[in-house]
A = this chain, B = another copy of it.
Amino acid sequence: MAPTMDTTAPTVDIKEMHEEAHPMKGGDDLNSYSQNSCYQRGVIDAAKSVIIEAVTRNLDLENNLSTFDPSKPFRIADFGCSTGPNTFFAAKNIVEAVGQKYGSLQEKTLQPEFHVFFNDHVNNDFNILFRSLPQNREYFAAGVPGSFYTRVFPKASLHFAHCSYALHWLSKVPKEIQDKNSPAFNKGRIHYTGTEKHVVKAYFGQFQKDMIAFLKARAQEIVGGGLMVIQIPGLPSGEVLFSRTGAGMLHSLLGSSLMDLVDLGVISEESVDSFNLPQYHPSIEELEMVIEMNNSFTLEKVGALNHPMKNLPFDVQMTSLQVRAIMEGILTDQFGEKMLDLLFEIYTKKLQENYNVFDKEIRRDADLFLVLKRKNN
């Protein structure tokens, strides 16, 4: 019998927080919209190159035609797919790259049929995902509900795994952060800055636990020789303080905006003390360490995505809207809906005050990518 599934709902509502992958709906600054979509497109194009290169260089079909038998389906999974459309771009890119690779084999073979599995938390809106599936797709599609920190596929059933901008969401806020008696109690802040050693250690501890669970599950699910491409927002190389990165500054200013609401008597200090973002932005070294500990994958390539859109000037309004779209769900759960407008009014002001810092610092955010290959035990 297959192991009994662990379908316990995690503390964090992943669905709410994956909103960052959705097309923006609010706001009317057309210029910013197109800028945003250009940025997205830039990231997607850069990610496409990573996929193509991974398949071309690292997917060894030729010497593993029993594992990658083209008369059987080639199975692809996107972990943390949200509701599209980015997951569909990824699926298309992977299917095309693998198809080309089969086509380029010395000994001519059939093309396999592709089965693409879209995975996300059970609270994800799979109805929207399914209704948005591209009509002219060249693969069979399936949805897989469940936390990717647990097993969600049978063993050795996947040939290619993909996970983009999802693994920085922790399965939960580390306990110590919210424990008044712990040295890691994160008073007056909503995330780590990198300065408070105990806090960042607790966050890293949770990230490490989650990554270990993720890699352990994927190691069972992916065939020997199978690939996994991961994208994750991370700490830029050589940078030690998260608070000096774009994302770190955004979170830090959101925390201080919440503390302003405490000063104004709108929310309680306790409510801010007990609120923390379940996110961790790892460094390349930290990722390498966890992958080595897991010992089931070779790290074929690691780096930061390079896309020209990184050099656009900082846009205060757009950034404020984006952060609101991402955080609105989690903020409402903790503080209620009423304070949102005032919060983001204060927040936008703080972004404006820090325009010069952001315009310089924002480029230090790193869109990390990793290409892993499942070892042949």
Interface assignment of A1: CB less than 8 Å from any CB of chain B:
yes
The residue on B at minimum CB distance from A9 is B131
User: Closest Cβ of chain B: how far from A72's Cβ, in Å?
Assistant: 7
With A130-B122, A130-B126, A141-B144 known as contacts, the answer to whether A113 contacts B4 (CB < 8 A) is no
The residue on B at minimum CB distance from A136 is B4
Which A residues from 122 to 147 make CB contacts under 8 A with B?
122-123, 125-127, 130-131, 133, 135-146
| Selected interface stretch from A148-156, A198-206, A309-317 | A148-156
The residue on B at minimum CB distance from A103 is B1
Interface assignment of A329: CB less than 8 Å from any CB of chain B:
no
With A126-B143, A130-B122, A142-B142 known as contacts, the answer to whether A1 contacts B117 (CB < 8 A) is no
Interface, chain A (partner B; CB < 8 A): 1-2, 4-5, 7, 71-73, 95, 99, 111, 113-115, 117, 122-123, 125-127, 130-131, 133, 135-146, 151-157
Tell which of A5, A95, A131 has the most Cβ of chain B within 10 Å: A5
A2 contacts across to B, CB distance below 8 A: 111, 113-114, 138-140
Contact of A113 among B71, B111, B155 (CB under 8 A): B155
A130 contacts across to B, CB distance below 8 A: 122, 126, 143, 145
Whether A153 contacts B133 by the Cβ 8 Å rule is no
Whether A1 contacts B111 by the Cβ 8 Å rule is yes
With A73-B154, A154-B115, A157-B73 known as contacts, the answer to whether A5 contacts B135 (CB < 8 A) is yes
- Per the bound structure, the CA–CA distance linking A71 and B239 in Å amounts to 46
- Per the bound structure, the CA–CA distance linking A133 and B8 in Å amounts to 12
- Top 6 A-B pairs, shortest CB-CB distance: A73-B154, A130-B145, A113-B154, A2-B113, A143-B143, A142-B142
Whether A140 contacts B153 by the Cβ 8 Å rule is yes
A131 contacts across to B, CB distance below 8 A: 122-123
With A131-B122, A145-B133, A155-B113 known as contacts, the answer to whether A138 contacts B73 (CB < 8 A) is no
User: Closest Cβ of chain B: how far from A74's Cβ, in Å?
Assistant: 9
